[in-house]
Amino acid sequence: MQRRTARQLTAGAIALTAALTLSACGSGFNSSGGSTGDASKLTSSKSALNILIGSSGDAESAAVKEAAASWSKSSGIGANVQLANDLDQQMAQGFASGKPADVFYVSTAALPGYASNGSLLAYGNDLKNKSDFYPTLTKSFTEDGQLYCAPKDFSTLALFINTDDWKAAGLTDADIPKTWDQLKSVSEKLTQDGRVGLAMSPQWERLGAFMQQAGGGLTNSDQTKATVDSAANAKALNYAKGLLNDGSMKFSSDLGESWGGDAFGKNKTAMTVEGNWLTGAMASSYPSVKYKVVELPEGPKGAGTLQFTNCWGIAKASKNQKAALSFVEKMTSTDQQLTFAKEYGVMPSVQSAASEWKKQYPQYAAFLDEAGSARGIPNKPGTADVIADFDSKLGSLKTTDVNTLLEGVQKNMTAALKG
């Protein structure tokens, strides 16, 4: 999943939300997810659980199947894991037919559609490990004060550095950028031999980290007001525009690549800003490239990064919600999340796994160290459309008036938040 661009993920979520809205009409679903707060009120049967996942690859597929088999053996309840060819479409079809999977992956962008039409069980208050999840993650899956689902894992953005390029430019660990000015300086020094110093995907889902570091963002914290046209956001985008204009940064699309990861792996850039999914891509596609991962430089208002996550959804129509909850608790347990991290490279969503994860993967500690300054993607209905449109315009940032761009997105975001 992670190697797909955020734009593709957003488009899929838009389609899913629309499909769910239509399928809920006349289907008998009520308008509330119905948090029980009492596990004894959950449905129960001897039926096997049907689990539908949108896998990132063979490693994740095998890991989830193995974990499901282990849970099944200990619980005595069957567990069938199905790999979705198109998760959005298959879930929409399942809800329309009244026979959705019992457990399934849910993105932050898709959550509002599920929550608003009553398709999703709001089981958050029933979780035994509710307090163990990072607060920024549970916030992403909370609607109207109800935690709907358990965060599966998560990713943040960090700075990837090609260490051979770094050394060739005469840079040392003392030069690792801690500020915007330092990032600009090392980007200029690394731009040589037909290679650019820094490359990024032309998306808010990457450039938005600069906005966060400047003290900005697309909305206020509770997503009731659009804040796109703020001075902080203008400062952030003008900083990025300056890097583009002086040639020390290029967008991946300008380098003939669909995302920053491939530009980095092919040594078209010495640095990129990406999530921890890139570590898996480097191992499988670019194993000879030597690199290190460091925290993003701080901006005028301090540290800041973006957060990406999915959760384990449970269908309200499931006949075995009790078993589904048991399954989710097993999948999000400390030991199981550390196993998943080993088998397919994800970052645990529970705080109890943090110290052991960093001990096992010290080279990737920067991703987890940034968790406290991470901000999730807006997920109110209609915001995914706005972000997708914003993304479509950022590719021409180099020649675009930043204030005009932000004013247009502000109007669209305001309209979306008003419904």
pLDDT at 165 over 80: yes
Q: 390: number of CA atoms within 13 Å, CB side?
A: 27
Phi-psi region of 194 (alpha: psi -120 to 50; beta: other; left: phi over 0): left
pLDDT at 5 over 70: no
pLDDT digits (tens, 9 = 90+) for 57-84: 888 999 999 999 999 999 999 999 999 9
Look at the chain and count its residues.
Answer: 419
163 and 295 assigned to the same domain: yes
279 and 361 assigned to the same domain: no
95 and 163 assigned to the same domain: no
72 and 32 assigned to the same domain: yes
Would residue 340 count as lying in a domain? yes
Element (H, E) at 156: strand 150-162
Would residue 1 count as lying in a domain? no
Q: Are 19 and 57 in contact (CB under 8 A)?
A: no
pLDDT digits (tens, 9 = 90+) for 256-295: 999 999 999 999 999 999 999 899 889 889 999 999 999 9
The whole-number average pLDDT for the span 229-255 is 98
The structural domain count of the chain equals 2
284 and 369 assigned to the same domain: no
215 and 279 assigned to the same domain: yes
47 and 113 assigned to the same domain: yes
The whole-number average pLDDT for the span 110-127 is 92
User: What percentage of the chain has pLDDT greater than the value 70?
Assistant: 90
Would residue 352 count as lying in a domain? yes
pLDDT at 13 over 50: no
Q: Are 236 and 216 in contact (CB under 8 A)?
A: yes
Would residue 276 count as lying in a domain? yes
Q: Domain residues for 172?
A: 157-306+379-417
pLDDT digits (tens, 9 = 90+) for 379-389: 888 998 999 99
Q: Of 375, 393, 409, which residue is a domain's last?
A: 375
397 and 284 assigned to the same domain: yes
Per-residue pLDDT band for 31 (boundaries 50, 70, 90) equals: very low
Hey, what amino acid is at 258? S
pLDDT at 205 over 50: yes
50 and 144 assigned to the same domain: yes
Tell me how far apart the alpha carbons of residues 155 and 412 are, in angstroms, rounded to a whole number. 27
Three-state DSSP class for residue 269: strand
> Could you tell me the CATH number of the domain that includes residue 357?
3.40.190.10
Q: Please tell me which residue, 25 or 204, carries the higher pLDDT value.
A: 204
344 and 225 assigned to the same domain: no
End-to-end CA distance of the chain: 29
291 and 327 assigned to the same domain: no
Would residue 332 count as lying in a domain? yes
How much is the pLDDT for 40? 60
Would residue 293 count as lying in a domain? yes
Q: Are 201 and 250 in contact (CB under 8 A)?
A: no
The whole-number average pLDDT for the span 357-379 is 94
pLDDT digits (tens, 9 = 90+) for 297-317: 999 999 999 999 999 999 999
Tell me how far apart the alpha carbons of residues 175 and 160 are, in angstroms, rounded to a whole number. 14
245 and 151 assigned to the same domain: no
Query: CA-based angle 266:271:273, to the nearest 5?
Result: 105
Per-residue pLDDT band for 56 (boundaries 50, 70, 90) equals: confident
Would residue 291 count as lying in a domain? yes
Would residue 256 count as lying in a domain? yes
